[in-house]
Structure 1
Amino acid sequence: MAYPKTKKIMNEIVADLTQAHMVVHQHHWYMLGRGFLKLHPYLDDVMDELAEQQDGVAERLIEINGSPISTYEEVLEETNVPDQVGSWDLSMEERFQLIVNAYKQLRDDYERGIKISEDEGDNSTNDLLIAYHTAVEKRIWMMSAELGKRPGEGE
């Protein structure tokens, strides 16, 4: 099981999942205002989903004889999900848009991973990434709807 390109994209996905989790956690902590009682627990579910995907991707990477990145330094070197210092000054809409943006990066990561794993003939990784891609698309749709937008609006 060589799959060198699959291993590389899987580590990029681990980095982006780790950073996306931090982005969601930050907004979970700093959230204020109308909708707090509904949106605060919703973000707990989002974080759980991200952690589950991170673990699934990392474990699959190990199964194909890869080594998942596992330090914040590695995450910062590999991630494509931007960060910013926590702030009390963002509206709920601004917070959710930042989270949607992180999810769009994950969607793009999964799309690249699906193509790469298919090209390398790694059907099991391909299947896993397709399932996670579907879950990410659903979150984008749901969070976009909360913002009063359609999923593809503004792209």
Structure 2
Amino acid sequence: MAKKKTNESKHEFSNTKEALNHQVANFTVLWTKLHNYHWYVKGSNFFSLHTKFEELYNSSSEYVDELAERLLAIGGEPVATMKESLKESCIKEGKYNLSAEEMVKDLTKDFEKLSKELIKSKTLAEEANDDRTADLFIGINTEIEKNNWMLKSFLGNDVE
């Protein structure tokens, strides 16, 4: 399994397999966090956020499967437990008792981290002449950027 790096926002990978495995971990933790927020969101924006969080956790689930299957196809071993995922991921678990706005702000920060890492991972895959993995990273990052823009728009671009 890939080793945890010391700086959560500056993961460096020596190969494409490590980058893929790290993203499996990220999206596994994000999937759980989004469920937390989906279940515990309250307030006047409940209906819109409850629906959006469900959409996002469904997408995260698809990403986990796509990333893990790509990793297996190139001879890697994806993390497959929450313990491994929490150790490897730059995404932290969701917290209880957050306001709807705090949940959205937290997710925008996570999406910023993911986007930066996906760009680095794409470059690594390209350098390894692994266009299929690079394309996978590009596609996921395109969706992350779009959803982050939507979440920031929800906040009125009031993001720290």
TM-score by length of 1: 0.89
RMSD over equivalenced CA pairs, Å:
1.4
Q: Do structure 1's residue 14 and structure 2's residue 24 form an aligned pair?
A: yes
Counterpart for residue 60 of structure 1: 70
Q: 1:100-123: per-residue Cα shift (whole Å, max 9, x none)?
A: 122122112211110110111101
Q: Provide the rounded CA distance (Å) in 1 between the counterparts of 2:102 and 2:156.
A: 12
Q: Provide the rounded CA distance (Å) in 2 between the counterparts of 1:116 and 1:52.
A: 22
CA contact under 8 A between 1:23 and 1:99: conserved in structure 2?
no
Counterpart for residue 154 of structure 2: 146
Counterpart for residue 123 of structure 2: 115
Q: Provide the rounded CA distance (Å) in 2 between the counterparts of 1:49 and 1:134.
A: 12
**Paired AA for residue 71 in structure 2:** L
**Paired AA for residue 40 in structure 1:** H
Q: More relative contact order in 1 or in 2 (CA 8 Å, sep 6+)?
A: 1
Q: Provide the rounded CA distance (Å) in 1 between the counterparts of 2:144 and 2:151.
A: 10
> Which residue of 80, 98, 111 maps to 2:106?
98
Counterpart for residue 28 of structure 1: 38
Identity of aligned residues (%): 31
How many residues matched?
Answer: 147
Q: 1:12-64: per-residue Cα shift (whole Å, max 9, x none)?
A: 11111111111111111111101111211111111111111111111111111
SS across alignment from 2:122 = helix
> Which residue of 121, 126, 132 maps to 2:140?
132
**Paired AA for residue 138 in structure 2:** I
